[in-house]
Structure 1
């Protein structure tokens, strides 16, 4: 028990056994108490036994809840925590509840209170540990894209950290209740934790980024993702790095911290993929044909069972072409289906334009030459007229 600073109050508060003299006093007072209050003690023991039986039954109920899959994950998590209830805590809780009825001596009451404090602190640490680990394991159990070794390592690290924190807090509470000044100890733990955190900042950064990937699930193994200038398929998620197989075939290793610090595109969760095509035709295309191009393209796109037409319209007068923009969606998240649909539509457009006599433009440039007086000069020699034809008369041979 902590000291209050008031001598009168501290004298009234029961204290646990602290020395050999207290042990002798405890034994003598216990015998005297049993001899004078045997009936109250018997009733208290019977009540305590009933409380222990009820609490033990509650513990058995928690064990059964762990096996009931149909009740949901929360019943299993709570049942798992209840099943970890310690027998020592059950006994001390029952003793604390019935001790007031039997009016034990101060030393006995103080010992029961001290043991109850220790049991409660340890039991609270066990309950908190089981609840946190149960929630984490449930959250990670849905992840089928993480290798078992990675998931096992992550759960092991979390279990170690949670266990250490819970039992350190429980130990500090116990020391504080028996009168130990824990201010210096808490300060030392805080300084030590800061030093370790600064020394292993990079490791802890990648570790917590890995845990964020495992539990938040921005992507899974097998998903196609785009990160920065890299597009590839996720092959493995480690505690420090994630490995991608790029579209070029090489393996790309990215640290988990860098992976989450930039915008990441998960292409595997795209319900539809959008294709944007630029169709460029020549300036020699007649205006009435240009007007009919959007309808031609719309008929081609809507004829495909996986494609949804969005729009097709002229968007630009380019230096050597008339540009049309075509947008359509492919209703499938599979990249191969998208590529196949886009290929089929492109071939159909090519065939339709060939039938209609519509020519695709390519970069061209026309040069005009002018005479000094401004008259246009053709880039080829003008054909000679009849008067300019050479005489067919044979030349007179020289003498």
Structure 2
């Protein structure tokens, strides 16, 4: 038996016995029952009326249900307190008796309570609505439902992800569809010999003709960096915010840019390296010796200006002398 249970067993019975009044009659119990039943009926009617009023105001269904249920519960709680007063129940000793148990339950349900209050904040502030495409931490997809425990998201891969409300509230929320449009950047390279002004004009005209690209803001091309193999241009276009629209527009912009550059005779460079050898300097290359494992240096020299290369042999056979020298 836990410490909480022992404490309740030792103090709970005495406190509860002191909470209830003495000498209650049948009339008192009947009046208390009528008050409680009336409060339940009034609370249910109030819930239905509030739901109809909020729905006519185009309020979110989840918020409507939560507000109506809260109003009903408050009315029932008020009726319960009044009924206990008729029964001469002293709430102080009663709450003291059950307070320790309620505290233990609160600690056990801490994560549930955190998600519950986080869901209330999400429903109140409404950073996203049902049907919005969002990024919640590592989860990307379309919001299907926000309940009192989790946010249900259908990912772009067709899977269903349930993200706790407190995790959603404590992390970055990116709503992709809230503004009604979205920008995409596509990169393309041209060679260093390219007339950049002409290339930018060709690319902007090509992007303007792509279906799905918005006219305002207009598509633009900018020089982004001087890369190893060419000059990188960033193509910026605006389009509808849905994920599939983004991929379709991105693909069409890439196709249109390639066709426009080829038709204009503008080179799209391959990855390349330029290696230059200078004849007046010694080129040194170190390679491992397969035999003993040491590293030998191979030297390549240019022609020696002090060497006499004239044929000094009477028979003109310079190769023989060279061969002899090589043997020596």
Same structural fold, with TM-score higher than 0.5 when normalized by the shorter chain: yes
What are the Cα deviations for residues 314-371 of structure 1, in whole angstroms up to 9, with x where unaligned? Answer: 13222322122221211x3443334333332322211111022212234322223345
Q: Which runs of 5+ in 1 are unaligned?
A: 1-17, 21-114, 376-381, 388-399
Measured at CA, do residues 206 and 179 of structure 1 come closer, stay the same or move farther in structure 2, by a change above 3 Å?
closer
Richer in strand (by share): 2
Match of 2:251 among 306, 328, 343: 343
1:168 CA displacement: 3.7
CA distance in 2, matches of 1:234, 1:174: 44
Q: Which runs of 5+ in 2 are unaligned?
A: 1-22, 26-30, 284-301, 303-308, 310-328
Question: As a proportion of its length, which structure holds more helix?
Answer: 1
Q: Secondary structure at the match of 2:258?
A: helix
| TM score, norm. by length of structure 1 | 0.50
Shift in Å, 1:274: 0.8
- For residues 107-126 of structure 1, the aligned pairs below 5 Å read none
Offset at residue 254 of structure 1 (A): 2.4
Give the CA deviation at 1:155: 4.6
User: For 1:277-306, what per-residue CA distance to the aligned partner results, in whole angstroms no more than 9, with x for missing partners?
Assistant: 222212232xxx212122222222233453
Structure 1 vs Structure 2 CA RMSD:
4.8
Following TM superposition, by how much is the alpha carbon of 1:273 offset from its aligned partner in structure 2, in angstroms?
1.9
- Equivalenced residue count is 260
179, 194, 197: which one aligns with 1:291:
197
The answer for the alignment partner of 1:354 in structure 2 is: 262
Q: Please show how residues 351-390 of structure 1 align to structure 2 within 5 Å.
A: 351-370=259-278, 373=281
How far did residue 243 of structure 1 move? 4.0
Equivalent position SS for 2:248: helix
Match in the other structure for 1:320: 229
**197-206 or 125-134, which deviates more:** 125-134
**1:29-44 equivalent positions in 2, closer than 5 A:** none
* 19 and 369 in structure 1: CA distance in 2 versus 1, 3 angstrom threshold: closer
Distance 1:137 1:363, change over 3 A: farther
Structure 1 255/133 Cα, relative in aligned 2: closer, same or farther at 3 Å? farther
> Does 1:183 pair with 2:92?
yes
Q: Please report the TM-score for the alignment, with normalisation by the length of structure 2.
A: 0.58
Label 1:136 to 1:208 Cα distance change in 2 as closer, same or farther (>3 A).
farther
